Structure 1
Amino acid sequence: MKKRLQNTSITFRMMQHCLFRPTGRSRNKVREIPCEEAVTTYDYSAHMRDVRMMRARARSRIAEAEMN
């Protein structure tokens, strides 16, 4: 074994020696590009919007409690 690979994990060594390389047949498969409607995206701003709404609800509850 080479000196630089002695202090690495077993998984890294396996990957270096291409034990996980897919077969030539599966690598050369032609994959169709999906149409625009078929692609699902992640809403990156949903969490920030949810946090903002939760804070607004908490503020309104505090204001209601102070009035009563």
Structure 2
Amino acid sequence: MKDEVATTFDELILRGQTIRGIKLIKDTFGCSLQEALIFYHDRYRHLRETRPEDFAQSHEEYWKGFYS
């Protein structure tokens, strides 16, 4: 993943813009919705472990109302 796209993707995750993040992955890699969702969730977990202070919401608040 190019640095610019990776930075944008991480920022979308940190801001809780799940749909935009998944769309960015689908558009960048041409993958399925399921693959993009898995990629998003894996990166989310990584950022939660390495940059927890950068999230404005708790884990529970982050996923509230999102059903996949």
Q: TM-score range by the shorter chain?
A: under 0.3
Q: TM-score, normalised by structure 2?
A: 0.27
Larger radius of gyration: 1
Structure with more helix by fraction: 2
